[in-house]
Amino acid sequence: MTGWRIAASTFIWHSPLTTDILESRLPQLAAWGFDAVELPLENVGDWDVERCASLLAELGLESVVCTAFPPGRELAGAPEATQARTLDYMRAAIDVAVAQGSGMVIGPVYCSVGRSWRLDADERALINSELRENYSKLIDYAGPRGVKIAIEPLNRYETSVFNTAEQLLDVIGDLEADVLGVNLDTYHMNIEERSFGDALRLAGDRLLHLQVCGNDRGTPGGDLTPWDEIFSTLREIGYLGMLGIESFTADNESISKAASIWRPLARTQDALAVDGLAFLREISRRY
């Protein structure tokens, strides 16, 4: 089998993403040898979708659209009007994916990042019911357009909705598996899962996208993450999706606060991407 396709998130350097940034960053990623790119859509219209599609095709890069859920984007536990606006944002993200040939929308598709509160059994059941209803609406929109949606559990400090693969699968389990699945992230898994291998096996063929970074949210490789366990399990479950390097920069005030990045995590952000790519290529060859 060939190695996994490796992507870099533009969050490593930038927020928000713009057309000018795409025109300089995408050729660089292609020159370094990346196969794909994660494109964070903080707000609809941040970049020229047609220009992006042209660049991706010219450079031979695949892409996924990464959602952003700041305060006010809520698919549960919020007024109906707020949920409706969030559904509109998600439909727009799906439209961007279609226009760019991305095929997948990923991210914490539920409640705003940073929103955490105690959920008793009754409130959790209500939240889960609202999410299932809204996921069904998104399935109806994304499915006919050939787009998959991969939902990402975040750690306990960023949300109280989904922290583990098991929690997420308990809610989406019988929803349309051809459209709706799981986006795991090794950073969050390191905090919340008891076993990388068991979590990946549990996700199984519902795993649509895997984001990879070091346990400190820096460069994958040379850190405490059990990479051999991860890669052997990926091969065991037959995972064929991307490996997306997602990290953030301390040089951008808004992104450093949102992701709690208070110090540099590599010599440079370019080195984080290039060294991470080299590590992922090397370990992929072993599996």
What is the reported pLDDT for 75? Answer: 98
Share of the chain above pLDDT 70, in %: 99
d(C-alpha 124, C-alpha 78), whole Å: 13
Q: How confident is the model at residue 2 (pLDDT cuts 50, 70, 90)?
A: low
Helix %, strand %, coil % for the chain, to 5? 45, 15, 40
Model confidence over 162-187: pLDDT tens digits? 999 999 999 999 999 999 999 999 99
CA 103 to mean position of chain CA atoms:
13
8 Å CB contact between 148 and 183? no
**Predicted confidence (pLDDT) at residue 1 exceeds the cutoff of 50:** no
pTM above the 0.75 mark?
Answer: yes
Instruction: Provide the CATH topology of domain 6-286.
Output: TIM Barrel (3.20.20)
Q: Residue ranges per domain, the chain?
A: 6-286
Q: What is the pLDDT of residues 216-268, one digit of tens each?
A: 999 999 899 999 999 999 999 999 999 999 999 888 787 788 788 889 999 99
